[in-house]
């Protein structure tokens, strides 16, 4: 049913079903539509619905991933395509009279006013979706790390609202895909990585946990910045060598190559290290949010 692609980091390069992230998109869309029809979930009023807004964004994220799988989109297109998905979020934020300010560590309270709707929201969607998609390539890496970040955002949102209800069904289904991905039985593909990236960005905006999002995705931002700066200044891409069941690199052009720089590691070890890094920043976001809530 699903096309099979070789697992590049396994001996013999066995063929593995790819693109099962589509199932996440379908399941999540049905789940969110059910919440809407049952009148459950936050912010259902005056024709503005959090479940429907989130469903539309995730559908577009999955569609964008499918286009990338079929057409191998150039990065200049992938970088800006998520901006289309920002439109329903802008409509939602304006209609719900969303908070336009962000309290930044060491800087303080910053109110972006109308620029929050037309600049900050599109930037959040564009940056998060693309950075999540850029950190992958290993069994479990593109599924486990986003799950950690999303679980953290859900726990933070539960402090102030019921927005976390939007993600209960989707995160359970995504964790099932993650378990299969970790075992090397499936790949979620670009449809999955773009959809989960869009999920994280959209949920953070709807649940108003923007600062927590920023802290949680610092490893993603670091990885993407390192890749893009290296390509811009040296015109070289991050490469990793697979030999004797281990992977190693002779440069530091991404988060993964920095971890494996002259340090042979197995695929599972790499995924574990990166996941711990993401979990550490997500925990930092949770602690900061909890302290802020108490204050």
**Does position 36 have pLDDT exceeding 80, yes or no?**
yes
Mutual angle of helices 189-206 and 21-37, in 10-degree steps: 30
Q: What is the pTM of this model?
A: 0.94
Tokens 């670009």 sit at which residue? 190
Task: Tell me if 248 is assigned to some domain.
Answer: no
Q: Which tens digits make up the pLDDT trace of 253-288?
A: 999 999 999 899 999 999 999 999 999 999 999 998
Is residue 119 a part of any domain in this protein? yes
Task: Report the Cα 66 to chain-centroid distance in Å.
Answer: 16
Q: Is there a contact between 62 and 81 (Cβ–Cβ < 8 Å)?
A: no
Per-residue confidence (pLDDT) for residue 161, from 0 to 100: 83
Question: How high is the pLDDT of residue 38?
Answer: 84
118 within domain boundaries: yes
Q: What is the pLDDT of residues 189-215, one digit of tens each?
A: 999 999 999 999 999 999 999 999 999
Q: Taking all residues of the chain, what is their mean pLDDT, rounded to a whole number?
A: 89
> Residues 98-129: pLDDT tens digits?
888 887 766 777 888 999 999 999 999 999 99
Domain extent at residue 194: 4-210
- As given in the structure block, the two tokens for residue 84 are 């289309």
Q: Is residue 235 part of a domain?
A: no
Total of domains in the chain: 1
pLDDT value of position 37: 87
> Which residues have a Cβ under 8 Å from the Cβ of 27 and sit 6 or more positions away?
169, 170, 173
Q: At what angle do helices 121-134 and 141-157 cross, to 10 degrees?
A: 140
Estimate to the nearest angstrom the gap between the alpha carbon of 134 and the chain centroid: 10
Residue 278 falls inside a structural domain: no
Structure tokens at 240: 């990793």
* 124 is a domain residue: yes
Asked if the structure places residue 226 within a domain, the reply is: no
* Section 151-166 average pLDDT: 91
> 259 in a domain, yes or no?
no
């Amino acid at each position: 049913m699903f096309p099979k692609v070789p697992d590049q980091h396994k001996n013999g390069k066995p063929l593995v079903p790819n693109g099962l992230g589509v199932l996440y998109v379908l399941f999540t869309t049905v789940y969110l539509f059910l919440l809407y029809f049952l009148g459950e979930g936050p912010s259902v009023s005056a024709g503005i619905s959090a479940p429907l807004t989130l469903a539309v964004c995730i559908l577009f994220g999955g569609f964008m991933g499918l286009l990338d799988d079929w057409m191998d989109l150039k990065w200049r297109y992938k970088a800006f395509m998520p901006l289309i998905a920002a439109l329903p979020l802008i409509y939602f934020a304006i209609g719900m009279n969303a908070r336009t300010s962000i309290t930044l560590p060491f800087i303080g309270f910053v109110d972006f006013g109308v620029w929050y709707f037309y600049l900050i929201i599109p930037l959040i969607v564009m940056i998060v979706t693309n950075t999540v998609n850029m950190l992958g390539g290993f069994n479990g890496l593109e599924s486990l790390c986003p799950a950690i970040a999303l679980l953290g955002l859900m726990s933070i949102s539960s402090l102030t609202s019921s927005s976390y209800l939007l993600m209960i069904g989707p995160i359970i289904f995504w964790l099932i895909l993650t378990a299969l991905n970790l075992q090397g039985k499936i790949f979620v593909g670009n449809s999955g990585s773009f959809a989960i990236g869009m999920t994280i960005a959209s949920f953070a905006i709807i649940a108003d946990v923007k600062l927590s999002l920023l802290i949680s995705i610092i490893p993603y931002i670091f990885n993407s910045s390192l890749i893009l700066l290296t390509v811009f200044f040296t015109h070289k891409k991050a490469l990793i060598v697979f030999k004797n069941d281990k992977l190693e690199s002779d440069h530091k052009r991404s988060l993964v190559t920095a971890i494996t720089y002259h340090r042979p590691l197995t695929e599972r070890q790499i995924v574990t290290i990166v996941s711990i890094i993401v979990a550490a920043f997500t925990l930092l976001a949770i602690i900061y949010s909890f302290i802020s809530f108490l204050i």
